[in-house]
């Protein structure tokens, strides 16, 4: 074996080290964790701590702990640690040594060479300081590599054809976006923009403030005043934030968080993804401005981007993909773990410098989107075949995601959960993988929320569950071999169906000719219906639909004057729905609801 060259991502909050083995990058883990927190500290008895142990003492002993040293690289400053002072490159060298030792121990040979990544915006002094840090760690730095370049290498190591990749990197404390161009092995960062003080930590702070304010209103106790309580809440909100990337709600619970008049107080707050997204939206809008500036500076239009790659833990926030997809008109890629992507890319670069050929990183992903059938209103008319994807195509496995849906009718006591795979908006053009009915739902008004969750394992076992939020009533099914099933039957069943549909393209506003479309029994209008999709305006849509149904029932029995007024309001409501103007939908609903209430009374 030729001498190994390490690929190192020396990050602001976390660092990782990788090499290529059998053509694939491999990140070295310790105790099962591939991430080494970029923290250095001294223990109470003066021992040097690097990584998790140093991070753990940060809250309690900040005077003995150093974090985010990367921010100081290239500056002529000294940092005190215990009774000594160090230059930034010396502190970074301690992190590099820890990574080198981790790799050497697992490779069973000493390592002397490394590729180290830096942000594209690092200047010469910062790059030079990074080199020095490597040398202080007894590593020959064979290349300083730009982080976005490393990320793009994981998706296409050959870089032969002209490729323009937009790399959006949002970590814990920093954000940057770069346009990377490659052709025939020459890779160039065309432009890079960012904000070195924006990241997931800021999202945590927003959530923390929300929770602390709520607690203050409820109990008149300020949790931020107590260091230990604050640290506990911060840890809890960070965990809730991660949950919200996969589920529509998260609960923040901490027992005995405070005391008042001798009584213990507990923290118990629920937050929805919608509320959380509204909180962070202004910050994400700032990142989108940077995306535009990077495109402008590189003179590349959005449509000329071949791939949008997500890097950094915070990019698991689904709103980020949504905003980027809206702006750039193409799906984002995060199949390669966004925490490890840069280290893997550095490992790939290192292997190529050592003469090895490397293929794109292999990852297990869902090859097709998976979701359920639901009712949608298109241009004011019911469309009961809307596909609502829950696990999106290309999601790394194992995966778990849930979304919220609502019942359509008042007192609806059952809902059919009809599970499909595919990419089409009309479920009849996708492949059905299973279905079940959840019944015994509470007798309440339309809009009763249900959480539908999909869990897919690496072996292709799909678990689908539906839970009534108000009561916790739950039903689930397990579908073995969900992935293989689709592959096998795709050609015969789904494609035959597609061929038929091809010659008979549907107009959603037409009444649906059920039997023509499917071999499966078509859902009758009386069958238990789910629910509008997990999208913007769904609550308004459900309300509008119920009102339109009621108005249609009443309108035949009205005198000419009242009929004219109801018709006018129905028309107004349908127009607002068609235009997806949710405020107008709400005001039309209010007007219609008032007049219907009055007409029912008389
Ligand atoms: P990095 O600096 O790239 O290691 O990213 C760390 C940041 O990613 C922290 O702010 C984490 O809270 C955040 N993060 C990690 N996992 C998730 C997730 N599933 N959803 C949202 N943020 C996450």
For residues 531 and 136, the model is more confident at 136
Averaged pLDDT for residues 13-42: 96
Nearest CA to ligand 1 atom 8: 313
Residue nearest atom 15 in ligand 1 by C-alpha distance = 313
How many angstroms is it from 64 CA to the middle of ligand 1? 25
Is 148 near ligand 1, meaning CB less than 6 Å away? no
Q: Which atom of ligand 1 is nearest to the CA of 313?
A: 8
238 close to ligand 1 (CB < 6 Angstrom):
yes
Distance 594 CA to ligand 1 centre (A): 47
- State residue 485's pLDDT score: 57
Q: What residue's CA is closest to ligand 1, atom 20?
A: 242
Residue in 330, 451, 349, 453 with CA at minimum distance from that of residue 394: 330
Q: Which atom of ligand 1 is nearest to the CA of 203?
A: 10
Q: Report the sign of the C-alpha dihedral through residues 425, 429, 433, 438, in that order.
A: positive
Domains of the chain: 1-154+339-360 (3.30.420.40), 200-278 (3.90.640.10), 370-530 (2.60.34.10), 538-601 (1.20.1270)
pLDDT digits (tens, 9 = 90+) for 223-280: 998 888 888 999 999 999 999 999 999 999 999 999 999 999 999 999 999 999 999 9
Instruction: Give tens-digit pLDDT for 337-383.
Output: 999 999 999 999 999 999 888 888 888 888 899 999 998 765 556 78
DSSP state letters, 40-79: EEE-TTS-EEESHHHHHHTTT-GGGEEE-GGGGTTS---E
CB of 312 closer than 6 angstroms to any ligand 1 atom: yes
Q: Is the CB of 319 under 6 A from ligand 1?
A: no
Residue 311 CA: which ligand 1 atom is closest? Answer: 3
How does pLDDT run across 265-293, given as a tens digit for each residue?
999 999 999 999 999 999 999 999 999 99
176 Cβ neighbours under 8 A, 6+ residues apart:
119, 120, 121, 147, 148, 169, 192, 193, 194, 195, 290
pTM for the structure as a whole: 0.84
Flag the least confident range among 124-138, 200-214, 281-295, 525-539: 525-539
**To test ligand 1's pocket by mutation, which of 11, 52, 172, 248 has the most ligand atoms within 8 angstroms of CB?**
172
- Closest ligand 1 atom to the C-alpha of 199? 10
* pLDDT-based confidence at residue 513 (cuts at 50, 70, 90): very low
Band (pLDDT 50/70/90 cuts) for residue 598 is: confident
Rounded to an integer, what distance in angstroms lies between the CA atom of residue 554 and that of residue 302?
51
Q: How far is the CA of 171 from the centre of ligand 1 (A)?
A: 6
Please state, rounded to an integer, the average pLDDT across all residues of the chain: 89
Tell me the pLDDT band of 17, cut-offs 50, 70 and 90. Answer: very high
Q: Rounded to whole angstroms, how far apart are CA atoms 399 and 327?
A: 26
Distance CA 156, CA 347 (A): 13
Residue 312 CA, ligand 1 centroid: distance in Å: 7
Distance CA 504, CA 517 (A): 9
Q: What is the mean pLDDT of the segment spanning 585-602?
A: 85
CA of 320 to the centre of ligand 1 (A): 13
List the structure tokens of 196. Answer: 């070195």
172 lines ligand 1 (CB under 6 A): yes
Q: Which residue has the tokens 């260091």?
A: 227
Query: Which residues lie closer than 8 Å to 450 by C-beta, 6 or more apart?
Result: 404, 405, 406, 407, 415, 438, 441, 466, 467, 468, 469, 530, 531
The residue contributing the CA closest to ligand 1 atom 7 is: 172
Which of left, alpha, beta for 51 (phi over 0: left; psi -120 to 50: alpha)?
left
Q: Which atom of ligand 1 is nearest to the CA of 246?
A: 19
Rounded (to 5) percent helix, strand, coil in the chain: 40, 30, 30
For ligand 1, atom 1, name the residue with the nearest CA: 171
Task: State the catalytic residues.
Answer: 9, 70, 147, 169
Q: Which residues pair with 231 in a beta bridge?
A: none
CA of 454 to the centre of ligand 1 (A): 22
Ligand 1 pocket check for 316: Cβ under 6 Å: yes
Of 452, 448, 446, nearest to 420 by C-alpha is: 452
Establish whether residue 317 lines the binding site of ligand 1, counting it when its CB lies within 6 angstroms of any ligand atom.
yes
Which ligand 1 atom is nearest residue 200's CA? 10
Residues 6+ apart with CB under 8 A from 535: 388
The CB of 202 under 6 Å from ligand 1? The reply is no
Centre of ligand 1 from the C-alpha of residue 201, in Å: 8
Please indicate whether residue 126, judged by its CB atom, sits closer than 6 Å to ligand 1: no
Residue 534: CB within 6 Å of ligand 1? no
């Amino acid at each position: 074996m030729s001498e190994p060259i390490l690929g190192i991502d020396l990050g602001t909050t976390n660092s990782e080290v990788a090499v290529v083995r059998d053509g694939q990058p491999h990140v070295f883990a310790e105790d099962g964790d591939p991430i080494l927190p970029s923290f250095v500290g001294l223990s109470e008895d003066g021992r040097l701590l690097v990584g998790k142990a140093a991070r753990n003492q940060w809250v309690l002993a900040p005077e003995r702990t150093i974090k985010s040293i990367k921010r100081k690289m290239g500056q002529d400053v000294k940092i005190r640690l215990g009774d000594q002072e160090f230059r930034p490159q010396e502190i970074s060298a301690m992190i590099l040594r820890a990574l080198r030792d981790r790799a050497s121990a697992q490779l069973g040979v000493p390592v002397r060479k490394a590729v180290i990544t830096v942000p594209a915006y690092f200047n010469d002094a910062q790059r030079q300081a990074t080199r020095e840090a490597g040398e202080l760690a007894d590593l020959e730095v064979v290349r300083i590599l730009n982080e976005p370049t490393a990320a793009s290498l994981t998706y296409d190591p050959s870089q032969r054809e002209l490729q323009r990749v937009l790399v959006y990197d949002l970590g814990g404390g920093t954000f940057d976006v770069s346009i990377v161009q490659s052709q025939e092995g020459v890779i160039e960062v065309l432009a890079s923009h960012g904000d070195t003080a924006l990241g997931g930590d800021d999202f945590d702070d927003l959530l923390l403030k929300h929770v602390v304010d709520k607690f203050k209103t409820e109990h008149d106790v300020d949790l931020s005043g107590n260091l230990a309580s604050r640290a506990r809440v911060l840890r809890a909100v960070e965990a809730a934030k991660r949950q919200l990337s996969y589920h529509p709600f998260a609960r923040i619970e901490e027992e005995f968080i405070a005391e008042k008049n001798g009584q213990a107080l507990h923290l118990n707050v629920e937050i929805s993804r919608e509320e959380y997204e509204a909180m962070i939206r202004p910050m994400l809008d700032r990142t989108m401005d940077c995306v535009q500036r990077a495109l402008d500076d590189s003179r590349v239009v959005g449509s000329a981007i071949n791939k949008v790659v997500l890097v950094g833990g915070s990019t698991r926030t689904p709103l980020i993909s949504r905003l980027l997809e809206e702006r750039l008109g193409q799906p984002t890629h995060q199949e390669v773990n966004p925490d490890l992507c840069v280290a893997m890319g550095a490992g790939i670069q290192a292997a190529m410098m050592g003469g090895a050929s490397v293929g794109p990183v292999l990852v297990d992903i869902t090859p097709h989107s998976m979701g359920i059938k639901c009712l949608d209103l298109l241009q004011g008319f019911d469309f009961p075949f809307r596909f609502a994807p829950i696990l999106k195509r290309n999601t790394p496995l194992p995966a778990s995601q849930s979304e919220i849906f609502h019942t359509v009718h008042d007192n609806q006591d059952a809902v059919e959960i009809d599970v499909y795979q595919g990419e089409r908006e009309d479920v009849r053009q996708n492949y059905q993988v299973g279905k079940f009915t959840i019944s015994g739902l509470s007798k309440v008004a339309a809009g009763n929320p249900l959480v539908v969750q999909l869990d897919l394992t690496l072996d292709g076992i799909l678990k689908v569950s539906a839970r009534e939020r108000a009561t916790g009533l739950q039903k689930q099914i397990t579908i073995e071999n969900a992935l293989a099933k689709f592959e096998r039957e795709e050609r015969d069943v789904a494609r035959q169906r597609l061929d038929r549909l091809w010659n008979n393209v549907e107009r959603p506003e037409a009444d649906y000719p059920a039997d023509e479309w499917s071999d499966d029994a078509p859902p009758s209008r009386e069958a238990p219906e789910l629910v509008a999709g997990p999208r913007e305006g769904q609550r308004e849509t459900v309300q509008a639909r119920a009102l339109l149904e009621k108005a249609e029932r009443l309108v035949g029995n009205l005198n000419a004057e009242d009929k004219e007024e109801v018709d006018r309001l129905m028309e107004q409501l349908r127009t607002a729905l068609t235009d997806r103007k949710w405020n107008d939908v709400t005001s039309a609903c209010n007007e219609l609801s008032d007049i219907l209430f009055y007409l029912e009374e008389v």
